[in-house]
């Protein structure tokens, strides 16, 4: 069975939902495919908030400056300008659509976070910002008859014909067989790849499939070496690595080592409000110095009632694990959180593969450079999701989905064919996932070296050669290879990428982006955006 629609969006986080709404506004039909339920995404778990220059004492130029400072010299200036300027309009629109952000006396309440020069972070429900944004966008999308959701449908690959993306292959959630869905164009908004690592704040769905599928189909990827580790994930035996928001330090929390001593002032002039990469490496240094496995965040100097009101979800989670954030030190350690790299796009979400667009964490617009500024990711998803949806609809307004080849009508290029689901295949997939995650954490993690990266690459390449890998496992290994190869290529330390053997930043040689293309060595580019000659639509 081959299905057709006007447009396909893969992913239902902030970028995917906003893209779908933009497409539907043109009168076109759009199908949104999600790996799990429609509300399950990285957006759903975002606590920290949305950074936007809407307060009276803030300006977009200041937000621009802070973003570029955090990006360690690798932000695309035009992309950042689009983010901070368009972000104001799209956030006001989101509020008009019913998103309820925290207020005080009827006015929007702005909070402080690390590396921001102003209090510009909007929150909802204290620390449930992502949940509120998804609620508002889902409600609007579900009220539009032109938007159809296909939940629990894992996308397995892109359909590419004559150099153009013409649809996706996905796993039918009901009968567990592979299907084909064709459209005028596809918008990838499938999120990040935090699950590559043994310790991560990301949900189970964040496995990097969109990046792997785009790469395999022939699209360029950029800056895959830059993986951000959140400094403060809950570190309690038997508990998930629950993210303890950046805002906790913004509100006055301090970091202490196993000896109970505050240490961040020794590592950076802004102490706990230093960029995330610096805080993460400082914690790792303290763990090594004290020969322990955890550091602590201390919130006990703050008023208990205020803390519980400001961080209700964090308070509830910690209490479930026997911790009172108002009276006790909270054990923390870094965990993989966000990938700055992804599918290379222009400012309107176009990739180097005709018919394929990307937005959100799966994409690399150049906004984040080498290190994402806290709370810029939700704004990026909102702004560039809308731009990608608008560009896709405009570029392909008069197209019709290509007719399926005759043999695909029968087999769907795998459609209708039962997926192998024997116990052995499941065991292999689980073993591959566990091995890759440990290797990524130990060899391609916060601290890297040529030796560690080469050892990881040798194992990844050996795993990749196995014929028994399922599509999901192959995608997983592909993204791990992309991160490790880019990290080996960049012989310097910059932002979230730190090499023991090249500990200094080298602007003379390495103020460039890494570009990965299937079948080719990694190359350097001064920009993420690509030349007009490369921007093909037809």
Give strand ranges (E) for 116-218: 121-122, 147-150, 155-161, 164-171, 178-182, 185-188
How much is the pLDDT for 416? Answer: 44
Summarize pLDDT for 360-370 with one digit per residue, the tens: 999 999 999 99
- 443 in catalytic set: no
Residue from 16, 26, 392 nearest 184 by CA:
392
Tell me: pLDDT of 419 over 70.
Answer: no
Residue 386 has pLDDT above 50, yes or no: yes
Per cent of the chain over pLDDT 70 is: 91
Residue 146 predicted with pLDDT over 80 = yes
Q: What is the DSSP letter of 349?
A: S
Whole-model pTM: value is: 0.91
Residues 278-319: pLDDT tens digits?
999 999 999 999 999 999 999 999 999 999 999 998 999 999
- Say yes or no: domain 234-335 is CATH 3.90.700.10: yes
- pLDDT score for 432: 92
pLDDT of res. 167: 97
CA dihedral 53, 58, 61, 67 (to 10 degrees): -60
pLDDT band at 412 (very low <50, low <70, confident <90, very high): very low
Distance in angstroms (rounded) separating the CA atoms of residues 216 and 431:
23
3-state helix, strand, coil in the chain (%, to 5): 40, 20, 45
Q: What tokens appear for 277 in the block?
A: 């990469």
Choosing from 179, 182, 184, 276, the catalytic residue is 276
pLDDT digits (tens, 9 = 90+) for 334-351: 999 999 999 999 999 999
What is the length of the chain? 538
What pLDDT is recorded for position 52? Answer: 97
pLDDT of residue 418: 44
What is the token pair recorded at 494? 């910059």
Q: What is the dihedral of CA 368, 372, 375, 376, to 10 degrees?
A: 0
Q: Is the pLDDT of residue 422 over 60?
A: no
pLDDT at 44 over 60: no
Q: Is the pLDDT of residue 220 over 70?
A: yes
CA distances from residue 337 to 42, 87, 226, 463, 481 in whole angstroms, order as listed: 10, 22, 11, 25, 18
Backbone angles phi, psi at 97, to 5 degrees: -80, -5
Q: Across residues 399-424, what is the average pLDDT?
A: 54
Residue 48: its pLDDT value, please?
59
Q: What are phi and psi of 287, to 5 degrees?
A: -65, -40
pLDDT over 90 at 384, yes or no:
yes
Q: Who has greater pLDDT, 418 or 301?
A: 301
Give dist(CA 525, CA 324) in Å, integer: 49
Range in 238-252, 291-305, 451-465, 501-515 with the lowest mean pLDDT? 238-252
Which two three-digit tokens encode residue 522? 């990694």
Spatial contact of 30 and 147, defined as CB atoms under 8 Å apart:
yes
Report the alpha-carbon distance of residue 74 to residue 532 in Å, rounded: 21
Tell me: pLDDT of 423 over 70.
Answer: no
Report the alpha-carbon distance of residue 311 to residue 123 in Å, rounded.
10
| Residue 383: predicted pLDDT | 98
Residue spans of the domains in the chain: they are 234-335
Residue-wise pLDDT for 450-461, tens only, equals 999 999 999 999
């Amino acid at each position: 069975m081959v299905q057709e629609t006007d447009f396909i969006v893969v992913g239902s986080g902030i970028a995917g939902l906003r893209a779908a709404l933009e497409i539907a506004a043109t009168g076109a039909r759009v199908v949104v495919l999600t790996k799990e339920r429609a509300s399950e995404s990285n957006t759903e778990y975002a606590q920290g908030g949305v950074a936007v220059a809407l307060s009276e004492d803030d300006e977009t130029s200041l937000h621009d400056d802070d973003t570029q400072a955090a990006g360690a010299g690798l932000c695309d200036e035009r992309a950042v300008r689009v983010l901070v300027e368009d972000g104001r309009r799209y956030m006001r629109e989101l509020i008009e659509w019913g998103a309820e952000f925290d207020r005080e006396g009827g006015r929007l309440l702005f909070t402080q976070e690390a590396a921001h020069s102003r209090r510009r972070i909007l929150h909802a429900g204290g620390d449930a910002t992502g949940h509120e944004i998804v609620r508002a966008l889902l409600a609007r999308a579900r009220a539009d008859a032109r938007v159809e959701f296909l939940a629990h449908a894992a996308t397995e690959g892109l359909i590419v014909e004559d150099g153009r993306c013409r649809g996706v292959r996905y796993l039918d959630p009901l009968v567990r067989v592979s299907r084909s869905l064709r459209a005028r164009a596809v918008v990838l908004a499938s999120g990040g790849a935090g699950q590559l690592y043994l310790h991560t704040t990301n949900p189970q769905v964040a496995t990097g499939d969109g990046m792997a599928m785009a790469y395999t189909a022939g699209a360029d990827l950029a800056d895959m070496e830059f993986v951000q580790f959140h400094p403060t994930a809950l570190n309690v035996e038997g508990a998930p690595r629950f993210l303890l928001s950046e805002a906790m330090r913004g509100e006055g929390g301090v970091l202490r080592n196993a000896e109970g001593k505050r240490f961040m002032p020794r590592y950076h002039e802004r102490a706990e409000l230093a960029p995330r990469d610096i805080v993460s490496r400082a914690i790792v240094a303290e763990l090594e110095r004290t020969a322990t496995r955890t550091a602590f965040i201390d919130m006990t100097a703050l008023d208990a009632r205020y803390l519980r009101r400001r961080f209700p979800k964090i308070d509830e989670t910690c209490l479930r694990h026997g911790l009172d954030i108002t009276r006790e030190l909270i054990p923390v350690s870094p965990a993989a959180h966000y990938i700055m790299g992804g599918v290379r796009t222009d400012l309107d979400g176009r990739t180097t593969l005709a018919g394929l667009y990307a937005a959100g964490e799966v994409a690399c617009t150049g906004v984040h450079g080498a290190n994402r500024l806290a709370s810029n990711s939700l704004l990026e998803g909102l702004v560039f999701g809308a731009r990608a949806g608008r560009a896709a609809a405009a570029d392909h307004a008069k197209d019709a989905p290509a007719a399926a080849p005759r043999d695909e009508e029968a087999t769907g290029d795998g459609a209708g064919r039962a997926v192998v689901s024997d116990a052995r295949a499941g065991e292999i997939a689980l073993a591959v996932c566990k091995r890759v995650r440990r290797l990524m954490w130990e060899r391609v993690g916060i601290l890297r070296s040529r030796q560690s990266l080469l050892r990881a690459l040798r194992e990844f390449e050996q795993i990749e050669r196995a014929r028994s890998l399922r599509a999901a496992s192959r995608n997983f290994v592909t993204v791990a290879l992309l991160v490790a190869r880019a990290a080996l290529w960049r012989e310097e330390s910059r932002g979230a990428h730190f090499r023991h053997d090249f500990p200094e930043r080298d602007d003379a040689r390495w103020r460039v982006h890494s570009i990965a293309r299937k079948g080719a060595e990694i190359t350097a580019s001064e920009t993420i955006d690509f030349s007009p000659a490369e921007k093909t639509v037809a």
